[in-house]
Structure 1
Amino acid sequence: MTYANLFRLDGRHIVVVGGGSGIGREAVRALAAHGADVTVADRDVKGAAETARLAQEEPPAPGSRTGTATPYELDVLDAEAVRAAAAAWGAPDGLVVTVGANVRKRIVDYTLEEFDRVVALNLRAHFALVQAVAPAMAERGSGSVVGLASMRAIQVEPGQSVYAASKAGLVQFLRTAAAEWGPRGVRFNAIAPGVVRTPLTDQIAADPEWYDAYAQASALRRWAGAEELAGAVQYLVSDASTFVTGSVLTVDGGWTAVDGRYEPTV
């Protein structure tokens, strides 16, 4: 083990699905900065191209190289397109899936169409990607798959039923994949973010009271920036985590560790 290179990814191919914006974009930038050759897959190919441009502009660490970033247009709900993408990618060293959706409504107000869309993006897309990509990783004998779950997989509030259920399902799906492919060297882990300022949280940001309530609920008393999730992704696809699989890495500013509602004088 060369500890100086523990987080380096020189020459490794990492696919980031959902890399056109938000957490996915920042993950691409971090991975490329550590030498990875990143495929930036997204339905929004213009967003993916912008991510690739930003990644290529990252200055390398002294004595190191910046990797590459290449946009790739992909609709994760198109099963045939996912299979074609997997064939084109071969056996990547890492697969990071950041796509997702949320519809915040009480259960009684949810439509079946909304249910289907949230579950499709938060769970079915991950299933399709893993099913298409993991076998090639297993043939090579190594690989790391990272899915973006949520603190809502373990802690809920009114209006989060389908989102929370799909994220909990994603955690258990990745754990099962870890059990099935672990003997062949492929690792599967989830990251569970807290409140992160991305386009997915525009609805909350538009309501100052709601936004501040969320900020005050964590130990750090603030929201995360998307860039603050990049380190967790970097860790889970690097050699720093070679004995980590079937795990959930919580990156929530301490939200799930504290009550967050009342601070007594003691």
Structure 2
Amino acid sequence: MSNPVDYQNLFRLDGRRALLIGAGGIGGEAGLALAAHGAQVVAADRDPAVAKATAEAVSGESLELDITDPEAVERAAEQLGDLDVVVLTAAMNVRKRILDYTPEEFDRVVNLNLRGTFSVFRAFGARMVARGSGSIIGFSSIRGRTVEPGQSVYAATKAGLEMLVRTAAVEFGEAGVRVNAIAPGVVETPLTQQIKNDPGWYQAYATKGALGRWSKPSELAGAVVYLASDASSFVTGSTLAVDGGWTAVDGRFTPPT
């Protein structure tokens, strides 16, 4: 057999540099997993303390970065130079019904979740395309496909992110750059504390998915390593659902069969 694949090391990331934008929660776990597989990790966050804590945990670099500032994103891309992997987890949500949403709240959510994603793809994608390799991983959500009252703008930004991923995958693909998304379900992080504090709400979310529970941030890390590594060398323009079967189920009621 010619050119055998080294399956034993298919997920290894030795010698590769990975930028993690959004270094807390899911991002922090992703950083630990990338480093465990050999990557040199740069932890970036608009909160320098969060970036520093994750950087120390992975023996990497830290960077203060606000992706709502396109010029700051461009400067970061120039400063960091060649990167093999970019992981973007930074996002926000304002849970309000459409009739209660203010224009200012709309702008805040869209500026971070969608405009920020565009800036990251543009700045770091340009350098990967010029070099001819790289993997960009954005974080979508089950809300990019399924919604509930109060999730309109957040859901719209996540659906938009998935279309940016697909378009970037097509435009960057000839240069050998892959672009994919991960769509988590409900994850136990500080951002979901409001839901966790309500037992009925918490349980309703837990039983919506096929596995009957919430996920931990660490359960998203394997998907990040997969999409960053050669194990996914022919995967681009895809959204990988890591949602415990949430989007496979059409409701919480289990009828008699």
TM-score (norm 2): 0.96
Question: Of the candidates 55, 63, 66, which is equivalent to residue 75 of structure 1?
Answer: 66
Aligned ranges 1:52-91 → 2 under 5 Å: 52-56=55-59, 69-91=60-82
Is 1:29 paired with 2:20? no
Aligned residue in 2 for 1:253: 244
- Mapped to 2, the partners of 1:178 and 1:119 lie a distance apart of 22
SS at 1:196 equivalent: coil
Question: Of the candidates 113, 117, 140, which is equivalent to residue 104 of structure 2?
Answer: 113
Aligned ranges 1:187-266 → 2 under 5 Å: 187-266=178-257
- Mapped to 2, the partners of 1:95 and 1:127 lie a distance apart of 13
SS at 1:191 equivalent: strand
- Mapped to 1, the partners of 2:34 and 2:211 lie a distance apart of 26
* Contact 2:41–2:58, Cα closer than 8 Å, also in 1: no
- Mapped to 1, the partners of 2:28 and 2:171 lie a distance apart of 30
Aligned residue in 1 for 2:22: 18
Aligned residue in 1 for 2:51: 48
Output the amino acid matched with 1:115: F
- Mapped to 1, the partners of 2:252 and 2:215 lie a distance apart of 19
Question: Of the candidates 86, 94, 97, which is equivalent to residue 95 of structure 1?
Answer: 86
Output the amino acid matched with 2:67: V
Aligned residue in 1 for 2:9: 5
Q: Report deviation, 1:77.
A: 1.2
5+ residue gaps in structure 1? 57-68
- Mapped to 2, the partners of 1:123 and 1:27 lie a distance apart of 21
- Mapped to 2, the partners of 1:22 and 1:236 lie a distance apart of 19
Map Cα deviations across residues 5-49 of structure 1 (whole Å, 9 max, x no partner).
100000100000001x11100000000001100100001111111
Map Cα deviations across residues 200-242 of structure 1 (whole Å, 9 max, x no partner).
2121112111111100111111000011000001100100000
- Mapped to 2, the partners of 1:205 and 1:116 lie a distance apart of 27
- Mapped to 2, the partners of 1:261 and 1:221 lie a distance apart of 10
Q: Report deviation, 1:139.
A: 1.4
RMSD: 0.9
* Contact 1:216–1:260, Cα closer than 8 Å, also in 2: no
- Mapped to 2, the partners of 1:71 and 1:158 lie a distance apart of 37
SS at 1:197 equivalent: coil
Runs of 4+ residues deviating >3 angstroms: none
* Contact 1:91–1:133, Cα closer than 8 Å, also in 2: no
Range that drifts further, 213-222 or 203-212: 203-212
- Mapped to 2, the partners of 1:52 and 1:136 lie a distance apart of 23
- Mapped to 2, the partners of 1:138 and 1:3 lie a distance apart of 27
Map Cα deviations across residues 59-109 of structure 1 (whole Å, 9 max, x no partner).
xxxxxxxxxx21111111122211110001112001000000011111000
Output the amino acid matched with 1:142: S
Range that drifts further, 168-177 or 199-208: 199-208
5+ residue gaps in structure 2? none
